[in-house]
Structure 1
Amino acid sequence: MSSLTHTLRALTVTAFSLVLVMPATVARAEPSPAELTRRIEKSSTELERVVEAHNELREKIKENRTAVKRLQERLGPLEQQAEQSRADVGELAVTAYKTGNLGTVDALLHGGDSASVLDRLGTLDHLTRQQQATIASYAADQRRLLDQKTRLDVTLSQQAAQSRELTAAKRRIERDLARLYELRRQAYGRAAERPTDRADSAAEAPAVAGQAGAAVRYAYGALGKPYAWGQDGPGGYDCSGLTSAAWRSAGRSLPHNTRMQWGVVAHISRSELRPGDLVFYRSLGHVAIYVGGGQVIHSPTFGRNVEKRDVDLMPPYGYGRVR
């Protein structure tokens, strides 16, 4: 079982066995608003980590799909090349038969795999260099074809396992999210904030040049839209979905996962922050986009809407610049 699978399961169990289950000693008591808020905040934080693990798994599936496509594109030419080299070796066998070189014929036609054929033919010093090159090319083509087919099989197997785990993770998240929304209903009378119509919010964005400016304007345009786990717009976003969508609008690609985004940005200091940079929190469990003036825009958590907040809304983990 993959480490990512362990993470998804362990985080889910931890989040909701410790947070959502009310202690037996107060089973009959109504929790106070403060207690409900504490539970909601802790549950939301833990569940957001589960969602980011889910997002990471989904990104890895995308990578595998790309790898499968690339391998499949290579197989066709390799198969044609291997078939041609096999035909060339066949012509050598015919020539050897006609000239009475029975040892060579036997090695070529009854030798087993290509590696053993090459090994035995290497001892036949009467073969010309051209003949030896033909046989060596045949063996190399066979090895490359076998290697690519093996890689394809392994990748397809990984993809199938990841798809099963993704489905299971989605079921767990939806189950635990229903519990979290019930807590929110108890505390606030609603499972989620009402989205706000901010159709003109992009016009509020500061004047920032270049691609960073496009990303910042997009983030402003997302203000008031709901948090939606696993989504990257346009109707809703989770935290890494918002930052990836903002930079996609600027023509740059970021993975839809906080930890993976941290892995592809240039790490900078706080003093270097400028609009468009990313600010990471919660040990890479959350990310926001810096919009200048000490402010970030982020998709906070379940039941909440995209908002603009102070950069120190929680202790930052680090800062990154999209390159």
Structure 2
Amino acid sequence: MSSSRMLLRTLVIAGLSALLVAPTGVARAEPSVGELTARIEKSSTELERVVESYNKLNEEIKTNKQTAARLHAKIGPLEAQTTQSRADVAKLAATAYKTGGLRTAEALLEPGSGSLMDKLSTIDQVTRQRQERIAGFTTNQRKLLDEKARLDATLARQNAQSRTITATKKKIEQDLAKLYDLRREAYGRATEAPAPRPASSAASPASTAAPAVSGAAGTAVRYAYGAIGKPYVWGGDGPDGYDCSGLTLAAWRAAGKSLPHNAAMQWNATSRVSRSALRPGDLVFYSGLGHVALYVGSGQVIDAPSAGRNVLKRDMNMMSIAGYGRVG
């Protein structure tokens, strides 16, 4: 064998040996805390959108249940009226059958007491009464059928939403598991440690003491300050945990005002104000209306940030702002 061929064979064998002993995959550096944090932020934003869609479905189901209850309440009396109208019409039909239809009119026209005009007037009145009864039956029956159709549509919509909400809940739980794994990898634990609670409001540091705000807005602001350090809980509206719209809902509920449990719905339920007119107690909405926070003054908001974190006070410009809302 020639020396060049021997050299080629040696190189091939050496190459194969290197492949056999080489690791099966390319070694990769572990992701840095900064990279993990970026992934956590992205996952948290996506998860919050899903949570808010879950909250919206819940609000719609509540509305549909209320609508169904009102329809049920209306259908009961309508059924009774329709049954009575049906009985009246059946009685009229039976009477007409027994008397041969026109015998009553013939009897009225026979010689006897009363003028012809009086008798004709009586016939007209009887005819009108019969027509009114028949028309009443038709109207009641139509109303009943319309209300039943509305109820059926409402219940069908509610059932579809219930199925969707079950699927959405499953997705949230799957997304949460992934997010918590990322947080463990980055920070050593899935959730932030609960913030220490001061023994009394007098002992609260200035950074966590609620400002003096009067009226209902003051009640909402004080409630939000009291929630600082409590955990984010998806679908939560207190008192042990909150998601973003659950916190603003609970704060204003304490002040006697009702808000839906969804950021986009809260946008629709509040009046628009400018940034320059912003007052403590107003709501700050973020781009896509997927997040909402309570303004507490001095450019600060209190919000429930995302899964794994606690309610906190922070700069209102932490994300792109969509607008501002005032609770009426």
TM-score grouping bracket, smaller chain normalisation: 0.7 to 0.9
Give the whole-Å Cα distance in 1 for the aligned partners of 2:27 and 2:64: 47
* Pair 27,269 (structure 1): closer, same or farther in 2 beyond 3 Å: farther
Give the whole-Å Cα distance in 2 for the aligned partners of 1:239 and 1:201: 24
Does structure 1 residue 143 correspond to structure 2 residue 142? Answer: yes
Give the whole-Å Cα distance in 2 for the aligned partners of 1:271 and 1:32: 40
Give the whole-Å Cα distance in 1 for the aligned partners of 2:265 and 2:100: 64
Give the whole-Å Cα distance in 1 for the aligned partners of 2:320 and 2:169: 29
Does structure 1 residue 268 correspond to structure 2 residue 273? Answer: yes
Matches within 5 A, 1:51-90: 51-90=51-90
Question: What is residue 161 of structure 2 aligned with on the other side?
Answer: 162
Give the whole-Å Cα distance in 2 for the aligned partners of 1:198 and 1:146: 59
Does structure 1 residue 293 correspond to structure 2 residue 292? Answer: no
Letter of the 1:170 counterpart: K
Q: TM-score, normalised by structure 1?
A: 0.82
Q: Structure 1: where are the runs of 5+ without partners?
A: 1-24, 103-124
From 309, 315, 318, the counterpart of 1:310: 315
Give the whole-Å Cα distance in 2 for the aligned partners of 1:152 and 1:198: 49
Q: TM-score, normalised by structure 2?
A: 0.80
Question: What is residue 214 of structure 2 aligned with on the other side?
Answer: 209
Contact 1:185/1:191 (CA < 8 Å) preserved in 2?
A: yes
Matches within 5 A, 1:90-239: 90-101=90-101, 128-198=127-197, 200=200, 204-239=209-244
Deviations 1:142-184 (A, max 9, x none): 0111111111111111111111111111111101110111000
Give the whole-Å Cα distance in 2 for the aligned partners of 1:233 and 1:27: 46
Deviations 1:257-298 (A, max 9, x none): 000100110011111111111000132010000111221110
* Pair 263,299 (structure 1): closer, same or farther in 2 beyond 3 Å: same
- Look up the SS of the partner of 2:288 in the other structure: coil
- Look up the SS of the partner of 2:91 in the other structure: helix
Letter of the 2:280 counterpart: P
Letter of the 2:255 counterpart: A
Deviations 1:86-122 (A, max 9, x none): 12112211221233128xxxxxxxxxxxxxxxxxxxx
Give the whole-Å Cα distance in 2 for the aligned partners of 1:53 and 1:244: 16
**More displaced stretch, 204-213 vs 257-266:** 204-213
Contact 1:201/1:223 (CA < 8 Å) preserved in 2?
A: no
Give the whole-Å Cα distance in 2 for the aligned partners of 1:311 and 1:71: 44
Give the whole-Å Cα distance in 2 for the aligned partners of 1:30 and 1:273: 45
Question: What is residue 40 of structure 2 aligned with on the other side?
Answer: 40
Deviations 1:182-204 (A, max 9, x none): 00000011111011133546972
Question: What is residue 29 of structure 2 aligned with on the other side?
Answer: 29
Give the whole-Å Cα distance in 2 for the aligned partners of 1:274 and 1:90: 67
- Look up the SS of the partner of 1:267 in the other structure: strand
- How far 1:85 sits from its partner (Å)? 1.0
- How far 1:310 sits from its partner (Å)? 1.6
- Look up the SS of the partner of 2:318 in the other structure: coil
Following TM superposition, where does structure 1 have runs of at least 4 consecutive aligned residues deviating by more than 6 angstroms? none
Give the whole-Å Cα distance in 1 for the aligned partners of 2:47 and 2:255: 30
Letter of the 1:267 counterpart: R
Give the whole-Å Cα distance in 2 for the aligned partners of 1:37 and 1:252: 37
Contact 1:227/1:303 (CA < 8 Å) preserved in 2?
A: yes
> RMSD of the TM alignment (CA)?
2.0
Contact 1:201/1:220 (CA < 8 Å) preserved in 2?
A: no
Deviations 1:222-279 (A, max 9, x none): 0000111111111100000000111111111100000010011001111111111100
* Pair 220,126 (structure 1): closer, same or farther in 2 beyond 3 Å: closer
Give the whole-Å Cα distance in 2 for the aligned partners of 1:73 and 1:221: 41
Question: What is residue 116 of structure 2 aligned with on the other side?
Answer: none
* Pair 298,27 (structure 1): closer, same or farther in 2 beyond 3 Å: farther
- CA radius of gyration, larger in: 2
Give the whole-Å Cα distance in 1 for the aligned partners of 2:130 and 2:218: 63
* Pair 290,196 (structure 1): closer, same or farther in 2 beyond 3 Å: same
Question: What is residue 106 of structure 1 aligned with on the other side?
Answer: none
Contact 1:201/1:221 (CA < 8 Å) preserved in 2?
A: no
Give the whole-Å Cα distance in 2 for the aligned partners of 1:312 and 1:179: 28
* Pair 288,201 (structure 1): closer, same or farther in 2 beyond 3 Å: farther
Q: Structure 2: where are the runs of 5+ without partners?
A: 1-24, 103-123
Give the whole-Å Cα distance in 1 for the aligned partners of 2:26 and 2:95: 92
